[in-house]
Amino acid sequence: MSQTLLGKVALVTGGGRGLGRAHALALARAGARVVVNDLGGSDRGEGADPDMAAAVAREIQEVGGNAIASNADVSDWDDAGRAVRLALDTFGRLDIIVNNAGISRFAPIGAMSREDWTLTIGVNLTGTAAVTHWAAAHWIEVGPESGRAIINTSSPAGTNPLPGSPAYCASKAGVAALTIASAAELAPLGVRVNAIAPMGRTRLTDAVPFVAELMKAPATGFDRAAPDCVSPVVVYLASPACRFTGRVFGIEGDDLFVFDGWSARHRFNNAGTAWDQATLAERLEAIDLQDLGWGIAPATHMVMPNPSDATLKTLATIAEER
């Protein structure tokens, strides 16, 4: 790989395992010095293990890269600032942020606890906002410089929300909105802000039996669920070759989906008069009800991301077998 990120400093949150680990290694291979941040808790956001981040920092050092570990809890506003400060104190600059730390607590809306909601929003959305805030504050202080990038982690569950985990879906849709808003705000400082909506085999996907089944590594041939399929997109979004900002990129195996933000496909105007219920009912007759995709696989509706042909085929097969 060419060292397109030589001289850059990257902070990867949740870089101790899964997709974040793959991103940290890929950024280091591309020449970046890396702060590997990870709290090291469970997939549901409980506990902590300081060795997770340290192990990946060591992996990078062992192949000649430059990395340091951070155990900051990004869901804590001030602790997120500590991760940013560590990058600046250690390497003297900060160019790339990969907001990847995330947790998942499956609980339908009627069963969801306050803790399910606050922890999920806390790590996935507040964690992304807090790290972005501290980096932006630093960039404002030192002034504009081109070549800065933030890569947030949304999800197919944020772009195409489905039943089963509304807090997770809301947190990831929030990340997509935050991405667009931050992109507009930070452009004058030379920062591009994009998000990925990834699919990759990790403990998060292993925790959901039918998803784990979908993402099993094949005995031979292309392993489309390997986390390593996601990281090249992160490196591209971090690199000077990327000319996008404020966009969400779905990535699964060899399939890449580029989202256009929210778009209203239908527009109506009531000719200078406020709407009333009867007119609304009449005019909105023209719109088809949305197909939420349940027809494809009623029992497996949770994986309806930016579905690739291969995923759709597998879902259909699983549905037929049930």
Ligand X SMILES: NC(=O)c1ccc[n+]([C@@H]2O[C@H](COP(=O)([O-])OP(=O)(O)OC[C@H]3O[C@@H](n4cnc5c(N)ncnc54)[C@H](O)[C@@H]3O)[C@@H](O)[C@H]2O)c1
What are the two backbone dihedrals, phi and then psi, of residue 273, each rounded to the nearest 5 degrees? -125, 145
Any catalytic annotation for residue 236?
no
Least separation in angstroms between residue 100's CB and ligand X is 5
Question: Which string of x and - marks every residue 102-141 that binds ligand X (by CB under 6 A)?
Answer: xx-------------------xx--x--------------
**70, 75, 104, 168: the active-site residue:** 168
Q: Is 160 in the site for ligand X (CB under 6 A)?
A: no
**For tokens 């030192």, what's the residue?**
142
Question: Which string of x and - marks every residue 70-89 that binds ligand X (by CB under 6 A)?
Answer: ---xxx--------------
- Could you tell me the sign of the dihedral formed by the alpha carbons of 92, 123, 103, 259, in that order? negative
Say what angle helices 231-238 and 18-29 make with each other, to 10 degrees. 50
> Which stretch, 13-21, 27-35, 183-191, 290-298, contacts ligand X (CB under 6 A)?
13-21
Return the number of the residue (43 or 115) whose C-beta is nearest ligand X: 43
Say what angle helices 77-91 and 127-142 make with each other, to 10 degrees. 40
CB neighbourhood size of 18 (10 A): 23
Segment 255 to 314, residues that bind ligand X, using CB under 6 A: none
DSSP 4-28: TTTT-EEEETTTTSHHHHHHHHHHH
Least separation in angstroms between residue 207's CB and ligand X is 9
Interface size with ligand X, residues (CB under 6 A): 35
Retrieve residue 98's tokens: 């990969």
Task: Say how far apart CA 70 and CA 73 lie, in whole Å.
Answer: 9
> Which stretch, 12-20, 60-68, 108-116, 279-287, contacts ligand X (CB under 6 A)?
12-20
How does strand 33-37 pair with strand 96-99?
Answer: unpaired
Task: Say how far apart CA 212 and CA 205 lie, in whole Å.
Answer: 6
Question: Which string of x and - marks every residue 194-233 that binds ligand X (by CB under 6 A)?
Answer: ----xxx-xxxx----------------------------
Cβ contact 67:91 at 8 Å: no
Least separation in angstroms between residue 288's CB and ligand X is 29
Our CA dihedral for 183, 187, 189, 191, rounded to 10 degrees, sits at 50
- From candidates 36, 81, 100, 165, binder to ligand X by CB under 6 A: 100
Segment 29 to 68, residues that bind ligand X, using CB under 6 A: 37-41, 43, 45, 52
Amino acid at 122: G
Return the number of the residue (119 or 136) whose C-beta is nearest ligand X: 119
**Residue 187 burial (CB < 10 Å; 0-12/13-18/19+)?**
middle
Return the number of the residue (190 or 257) whose C-beta is nearest ligand X: 257
Least separation in angstroms between residue 277's CB and ligand X is 39
Least separation in angstroms between residue 302's CB and ligand X is 11
Least separation in angstroms between residue 56's CB and ligand X is 9
**171, 172, 182, 308: the active-site residue:** 172
Any catalytic annotation for residue 168?
yes
Cβ contact 113:122 at 8 Å: no
Binding footprint of ligand X on the chain (CB under 6 A): 13-14, 16-20, 37-41, 43, 45, 52, 73-75, 100-103, 123-124, 127, 153, 155-156, 198-200, 202-205
Active site residues: 155, 168, 172
